[in-house]
Amino acid sequence: MPDLGSLPGFRDFYPEDLELRTRIFAAWREASRRFGFREYDGPPLEPLELYTGKSGEEIVRQLYAFTDKGGREVALRPEMTPSFARMVAARAGGLRKPIRWFSIPQLFRYERTQRGRLREHFQWNVDLVGETEVGADAEVLGVALTGLSLLDLGADEVIARVSDRRLLESALRFHGVEGEGVAAAYGAIDKLPREGADATRERLTEHAGLSRGAAEDLLGAMEAGDPGVLAAAAGGDEGARQRAEDIGRYLDTLDAMGFGDRVDFDATIVRGLAYYTGIVFEVFDTAGELRAVCGGGRYDRLLEQLGGPDLPALGFGMGDVVLGELLAERAGEPAVGAGVDDYLVIVSEDQRALAIRLASALRSEGRAVTYALRETGVGRQFKDANAAGAGRAIVLGPDEAADGVAVVKDMASGHEERVPLDRLMGSDAGRVL
């Protein structure tokens, strides 16, 4: 027998899994709507060239690429940004700025599977194009935190750590770090939370060119958790001072949004991708057990580099894999899916036609209704109603049918009530009990 299981790193979504995914997507869409973002999508298969010349080296190595039957070199999309840039470029002149778009694409990368990382995932991409004001940066993080709030993830469970690469770069340049040394310093600082201060100090001196004393000063300024202290480490540079003020306004805006208790300044947040140009952020679970839930920031030159218009832009990506793990691990997390609203208990086959008419009437009012599809004992039908998570059991027997009523039982409380059938079939069908 051939192995017909799913491929490594790919998922089957059984109903309960799909219900969780649907719940996540609903929160993402609702948060986007509240902030005025419009949904878009693109094809899951794109020309290979879209990625080989415009995505990072790591992503290119992980491409699912092949030659199609028309002889074209194509790839499954590993990220959404190149498609986004292409679409914006195609209509840039006619799009009202700022552009507020979001998407929920399925992405594919051939990488080593591990906790929180698979070879396919869905990702909430939010992008805002055409605005340089720091309020736009706060707006984008506000969308992300609102999406998590709609999933009942608050300050006790998630924390956003924010920084500004321009501020850190000013401090590095003050200490003589230039060119490739800046990227090496970013790489060392990015590993600081995992590797500790000693290892980071060695990396800064050996790979970024900092003196030991300068590395000590920089790490001390970063540890303070204050953008003003980091600006001072840049020697009073006017640009660094302005960046610190921008971060202050950014944090004030998020506080006004109600998110002040779940945002911290953390200079170790630099984001691994080289295209970020300003404020950056990552959101983590407060227990520190998972990978980042999401990450993003400002990338003012990226659209132009991808062949799009020269427009300032910022955004984030939030994957469903880590978020799903976080939701699954929550203490007391309720089961996803409320089951059906009504289960119709058919006492004898003489009432089946009546049950079907009643089911149709209830369904037309938006209620989820089911019943046994073959002759089944009443006791078994009640067991099925419980298994389906039914809120009500509606019993149709010969005596009830003769009287033009049904017995409606609240499955949680056990309370029963005889209800006229014309009332059940009317517009107040869901208000009984």
- Residue 294: alpha-carbon gap to chain centroid: 7
| 342-431: CATH class | alpha beta
Using DSSP's 3-state secondary structure scheme, residue 376 falls into: coil
CA-to-CA distance for 383 and 373, rounded, in angstroms? 15
For 133-160, the DSSP string reads: SHHHHHHHHHHHHHHHHTTT--TTTEEE
Instruction: Name the band, by pLDDT with cuts 50, 70 and 90, for residue 211.
Output: confident
- SS percent in the chain: helix, strand, coil, step 5: 45, 20, 35
Q: Are 27 and 150 in contact (CB under 8 A)?
A: yes
Lowest mean pLDDT among 26-35, 182-191, 387-396: 182-191
Rounded Cα distance between 61 and 64, Å, is 9
Question: Which residues, other chains included, contact 112 with Cβ-Cβ below 8 Å and sequence gap of 6+?
Answer: none
Angle at 185 between CA 184 and CA 188, to 5 degrees: 90
Residue listed under structure tokens 């190595």: 61
Summarised one tens digit per residue, pLDDT across range 82-101 is: 899 999 999 988 999 999 99
Cβ-contact 392, 409 below 8 angstroms: yes
Question: Per residue in 324-353, pLDDT tens?
Answer: 999 988 755 544 555 799 999 999 999 999
Cβ–Cβ < 8 Å for 153, 328: no
First to last CA, the chain: 53
CA–CA distance, 268 with 162 (Å, rounded to integer): 9
Sole residue written with tokens 């009317």: 426
Q: What is the mean pLDDT of the chain?
A: 90
Report how far residue 269's alpha carbon sits from residue 303's, in angstroms, rounded to the nearest whole number. 22
Helix 165-174 / helix 180-190 crossing angle, nearest 10 deg: 120
How far is 396 from 246, CA to CA, in rounded Å? 67
Q: Which residue has the tokens 């030159």?
A: 301
Give Cα separations from 331 to 102, 155, 319, 326, 328 (angstroms): 31, 15, 21, 10, 8
Cis peptide before 98 (omega within 30 of 0): yes
Third-level CATH fold of 15-329: BirA Bifunctional Protein; domain 2 (3.30.930)
Averaged pLDDT for residues 292-304? 92
Q: Rounded CA gap, 34 and 29, in Å?
A: 9
Read off the tokens for 386: 């419980």
Structure confidence at residue 428 (pLDDT): 58
Would you say 188 and 204 are in contact if contact means Cβ atoms under 8 Å apart?
A: yes
- For the stretch 244-271, pLDDT in tens is 999 999 999 999 999 999 999 998 898 8
What confidence tier does 56 reach under pLDDT thresholds 50, 70, 90?
Answer: low
Nearest to 267 by CA among 228, 209, 241, 302: 228
Higher pLDDT pick, 122 / 303 = 122
Can you give the pTM of this predicted structure?
A: 0.86
Q: Give the largest CA-CA distance in the chain.
A: 94
CA gap 150, 27 in Å, rounded: 6
Contact yes or no for 42/80 (Cβ under 8 A): yes
136 and 300 Cβ atoms separated by less than 8 Å: no
Backbone angles phi, psi at 408, to 5 degrees: -105, 120
pLDDT above 90 as % of the chain? 66
432 pLDDT tier (thresholds 50, 70, 90)? low
Please tell me the distance from the alpha carbon of residue 106 to that of residue 43, in angstroms, as a whole number: 10
For position 272, what pLDDT does the model report?
Answer: 66
Torsion angle, alpha carbons of 163, 169, 171, 176, to 10: 160
Residues 78, 59 contacting (CB under 8 angstroms): yes
pLDDT at 114: 87
Q: How confident is the model at residue 321 (pLDDT cuts 50, 70, 90)?
A: very high
Residue ranges per structural domain of the chain: 15-329, 342-431
Count of other CB atoms within 10 angstroms of residue 336: 17
- φ, ψ for residue 287, nearest 5 deg: -75, -15
What pLDDT is stored for residue 93 in this prediction?
Answer: 87
